[in-house]
Structure 1
């Protein structure tokens, strides 16, 4: 038996445009107004960074029940999920079988390489770097280059922003020359501000309240959090997004 690439087998059964339209009809996007209100929600966290408790003063450990071995717990996607959930006006308990998908990051379908973008405090919890998808569809965004490219074009035209991490330079250059509009979803913008995709969740008073509360917490923790709080990284993230570290 000759085994060929699974993506090629899939492409023979369903066109890329059909997959893109499935995502178009089901994805949930944060409103641009919410992004402008608070671009990054948890700048103290990033992928693979360690967790701390007691106000950032003690390591948070995971203990294996079988071996009794304890290891320092690290961030996977917890706070990115929280950021997206709050920015969409949802609660974790009310979104079963939905997954947070990062739009900008290392294209590595094997998940063997370190993703420098989501390990960066500026971009990990950036809500223009995420979209909420039904969990089964997330596999397409993780593995299919065509789908990733279309999501990135949609996001940068919706938010008038693209990730400028140095590792994204080649990706962004390729997007500038991308022209496969035949598969591109109809409602997704082709230029900045041209349209809004289906599934955009408008900014509400409750979302604005949560954003205000989150920013106040960031500012407070900069002053009072324990010795393990990553102040330099947080300040760098706030500076990048032009968010004042001090209350008005």
Structure 2
């Protein structure tokens, strides 16, 4: 029987080494971008259903193997779009980079429903995401200590910590964090405000993208079809105090 893969990796690559790789390669959203528009797609959440024709008709998918037709649902499409735009990028400008949610229900075996990213308040929240080279995303998926330090950084950088009831214990640990040994040097701490390496400065391009999103949200609230989740969108806007 093989040893646990994580333990085998840890014998070759220490936590400080892993965090160093993440520190030097991660791309973070500027706090000013977060302040300007915290949630970019309040109408979407993980596993929420897709609709077409201005939210008036279900968008269906045919399974290539079975031929079964099912209602298409959200995976990570609009979280990816939000992060891409908030970093001032286009989809084709980030090959082999992956969107990583910072806050979610920790479950390396993927057996538990992730209530945090199924919540519209947090799914496309740009303070809840970081862009990583795709191979490094595995570390954030399975190494709790890596995820916790990303959350500590998000708290210090954006002044925000997830208040979903499913992660209340983790939020308390983040607020009381004191283990700075492997925490990256360039990341902010309570006594050391800073911007992480790889922070995408708020720019005219990012502002224009955010303004376009606000305009679409305004339009959809006024005229989208019967399946548009107006009440949920309004709750998200109220939660984040977003003015359109």
Q: What's the TM-score bracket when you normalise by the shorter of the two chains?
A: over 0.9
Q: 1:67 Cα deviation (Å)? A: 3.2
Separation in 2, partners of 1:191, 1:223: 43
Q: CA deviation at 1:68?
A: 2.5
Render the CA deviation track for 1:23-56: whole Å, top value 9, x for unaligned.
0000000000000000000000000000000000
- Paired residue secondary structure (1:115): coil
Aligned position for 1:228: 227
The change in CA–CA distance for 1:50 and 1:237 in structure 2 (over 3 A counts) is same
User: Match of 1:123, SS?
Assistant: helix
Cα distance in 2 between the residues matched to 1:102 and 1:192 = 26
| Map of 2:63 onto structure 1 | 64
Across the aligned residues of Structure 1 and Structure 2, the Cα RMSD in angstroms comes to 1.2
Stretches of structure 2 that go unaligned for 5 or more consecutive residues are none
The alpha-carbon deviation at position 180 of structure 1 amounts to: 2.0
| Matched residue SS, 2:179 | coil
Q: Does 2:194 align with 1:210?
A: no
- Residue of structure 1 in register with 2:199 after alignment: 200
1:229 aligned counterpart, secondary structure? coil
For the residue of structure 1 that corresponds to 2:46, the secondary structure is: coil
- 3-state SS in 2 of match to 1:122: helix
Instruction: Spell out the pairing of 1:116-195 with structure 2 (5 A cutoff).
Output: 116-191=115-190, 194-195=193-194
Question: Quick one: distance in 1 between partners of 2:35 and 2:91?
Answer: 23
Aligned partners of 1:154 and 1:190 also within 8 Å: yes
Counterpart secondary structure, 2:131: strand
Secondary structure, counterpart of 1:133 in structure 2? strand
For residues 185-226 of structure 1, the C-alpha deviation after alignment (integer angstroms, 9 at most, x for no partner) is: 100111287111100000110110110110111011011001
1:233 & 1:72 partners in 2: Cα distance? Answer: 20
Query: What's 2:88 paired with?
Result: 89
The separation in 1 between residues aligned to 2:190 and 2:166, in whole angstroms, is: 24
Match of 1:241 in 2: 240
Q: Distance in 1 between matches of 2:179 and 2:242?
A: 36
- Distance verdict in 2 for CA 1:197–1:107, change over 3 Å: same
1:41 and 2:51 are equivalent in the alignment: no
Distance in 2 (CA, whole Å) between partners of 1:36 and 1:192 is 22
Shift in Å, 1:75 = 0.2
Unaligned runs of 5+ in 1: none
Q: For residue 110 of structure 2, give the secondary structure of its aligned residue in structure 1.
A: coil
How much does 1:177 deviate?
3.0
CA contact (8 A) 1:187 1:198 kept: yes
User: Does the Cα contact within 8 Å between 1:106 and 1:116 map onto a contact in 2?
Assistant: yes
Go from structure 1 to structure 2 and tell me whether the alpha carbon gap of 1:15 and 1:87 turns closer, same or farther (over 3 Å shift): same
Matches of 1:223 and 1:161 in 2, distance apart?
A: 30
CA–CA distance in structure 2, aligned partners of residues 192 and 129 of structure 1: 22
Number of residue pairs aligned between Structure 1 and Structure 2: 244
